[in-house]
Amino acid sequence: MAGIDSVSIVGTGNVAHHLGKAFRDAGFTISDVFGRNSASANELADLLECSVAPTLNELSGDLVLLCVSDNAVIDLASRISENRRLAYTSGSIPLSSLPNRFFCGVFYPLQTFSKNREINITTVPFLVEGNSVQHESELMKLASKISQHVQSANSSDRLHYHISAVFVNNFVNHLFSKGKAHVEEHGLDWEVLKPLIFETIGKISDLDPLDAQTGPAVRKDEQTIERHLRELEGKSKEIYTLITQSIQQSSKK
Amino acid sequence: MAGIDSVSIVGTGNVAHHLGKAFRDAGFTISDVFGRNSASANELADLLECSVAPTLNELSGDLVLLCVSDNAVIDLASRISENRRLAYTSGSIPLSSLPNRFFCGVFYPLQTFSKNREINITTVPFLVEGNSVQHESELMKLASKISQHVQSANSSDRLHYHISAVFVNNFVNHLFSKGKAHVEEHGLDWEVLKPLIFETIGKISDLDPLDAQTGPAVRKDEQTIERHLRELEGKSKEIYTLITQSIQQSSKK
């Protein structure tokens, strides 16, 4: 079977949007797109200068790439003709849970995508898996057209990367939300926290986070912890209590 | 009373180290240092090219700056002669909880300091408070010698900034520890998560964290959440559960 020279994109969300643009910018052919919401599908097709397929089985690319939420992958895969080459972009769905087919694989970008923010795809790690040596190799080649960080990863490894990603991205972002809400509730300026946030990340480049840990929890400064807890309530208070315990349990100091 | 033309530093930890270097690099006079541990005090004095004072009350600077952990501030302040000008660097101790004296104030850098990592002090916000207009004004002038982001903040505002700092720095760093431990327990490479971490922070520059939230929690993707929880235990599992609930409670979507 020939290589993958064109891609059809299913889905119109953040991943579809960013991967589509990456392919387009790399000069790679996007044949068409498909989405439940026709307005979104038309918008994406305009951006990617391709057509909208009227049904899933009229998609014409060499590969059908499912850029849809995790809980839609299995249903969609089962509705696409068995002889089509397929890949999906989900972090946590094991390849073995999809219905049997000749060419099925995973094309997982380990990154967070927001529509209103550009991203340099060449630095995004792609974790690739195929249900055959040939299909995996084709997907690796495809990923290499848009990223410099492509690696093969089985479903278990991908799941563990995804779990870690939830901690270091989704949960971290939520703590930013909590920090922002706290200062704003008290009429204070969120911008004042930004240099601290940038340094928090800067440290990641050259320190082990266990060694970089500072603050009242790791110092076991119970007076400060009490002073903070008196000002908190609800989920913020629960999060403060639990993470403080967890820091104290993990501490090397 | 004349301005503050020299500083004595009490303490030999990360804050003493970084503020001392900042003063030295700004060409400002550090008279002497004092620390419980004489080896550390000698080391810091060498770095700052100043002497070690044998006792607290032999410190000779115009200002005595307490760069010590929060729970040592009040005790130390009470041992320093009442006519000395004093400031401390703690985020959460209210100025009113210190023993009465003529010149007492706060010189709080809203930043995380590690000994093995250089920092650009000019970008660090300093929150300054004094128990008199004159003392506060002198402390503002002093902070302006090393930073471009100096502001007056009362004890309550400073406490709330400190609480937010715990969320966006201490707790975020702990989530990095958890994410690193998780991939390493499974023989995987922590470096693969770094582009995601850098983007997590990059988003902070131009998106509200509530709008930047992605992942299974905000999508209410219960299958993925279950798949992740099956792989976690102990504090990691508790943190996963609680923050997922908190994201779902906060979500705009």
Kindly list the domain boundaries of chain B, sorted by start residue.
6-153, 160-250
Strand, helix or coil at A131? coil
Percentage of residues in chain A having pLDDT higher than 70 = 99
The residues pairing with A129 across neighbouring beta strands, listed in sequence order, are A106
CB contact under 8 A, A212 and B149: no
Using pLDDT thresholds of 50, 70 and 90, give the confidence band for residue B4: very high
- CATH topology for A6-153 is Rossmann fold (3.40.50)
**Which of A171, A192, A211 is the best substitution to test chain B (most B C-beta atoms within 10 A)?**
A171
Chain A nearest CA to B147, separation (Å): 12
Percentage of residues in chain B having pLDDT higher than 90 = 91
The string of pLDDT tens digits covering residues A128-180 is 999 999 999 999 999 999 999 999 999 999 999 999 999 999 999 999 999 99
- Distance separating alpha carbons of residues B108 and B91, to the nearest angstrom: 6
The string of pLDDT tens digits covering residues B153-174 is 999 999 999 999 999 999 999 9
Partner-chain residue, chosen from A69, A186, A204, that has the shortest CB–CB distance to B194: A204
The whole-number pLDDT of residue A2 equals: 81
Chain B (125-184) residues lying within 8 Å, Cβ to Cβ, of chain A: 125, 149, 151, 156-157, 159-183
Q: Does residue B214 surpass a pLDDT of 80?
A: yes
Using pLDDT thresholds of 50, 70 and 90, give the confidence band for residue B56: very high
Partner-chain residue, chosen from A70, A156, A209, that has the shortest CB–CB distance to B180: A209
Burial B132-157 (b: 16+ CB within 10 A, else e): eeebbebbbebbeebbebbeebebeb
- CATH topology for B160-250 is N-(1-d-carboxylethyl)-l-norvaline Dehydrogenase; domain 2 (1.10.1040)
Structure tokens at B168: 């966006």
- Distance separating alpha carbons of residues B149 and B228, to the nearest angstrom: 42
**Which of B126, B150, B175, B191 is the best substitution to test chain A (most A C-beta atoms within 10 A)?**
B175
Partner-chain residue, chosen from B168, B212, B236, that has the shortest CB–CB distance to A114: B212
Chain A residues with CB under 8 Å of B95 CB are none
Q: Does residue B191 surpass a pLDDT of 60?
A: yes
Q: Does residue B32 surpass a pLDDT of 90?
A: yes
- Asked if the C-beta of B253 comes within 8 angstroms of chain A's C-beta atoms, the answer is no
The whole-number pLDDT of residue B252 equals: 60
The mean per-residue pLDDT over the stretch A61-74 comes to 94
More confident residue, A252 or A164: A164
The string of pLDDT tens digits covering residues A27-66 is 999 999 999 999 999 999 999 999 999 999 999 999 999 9
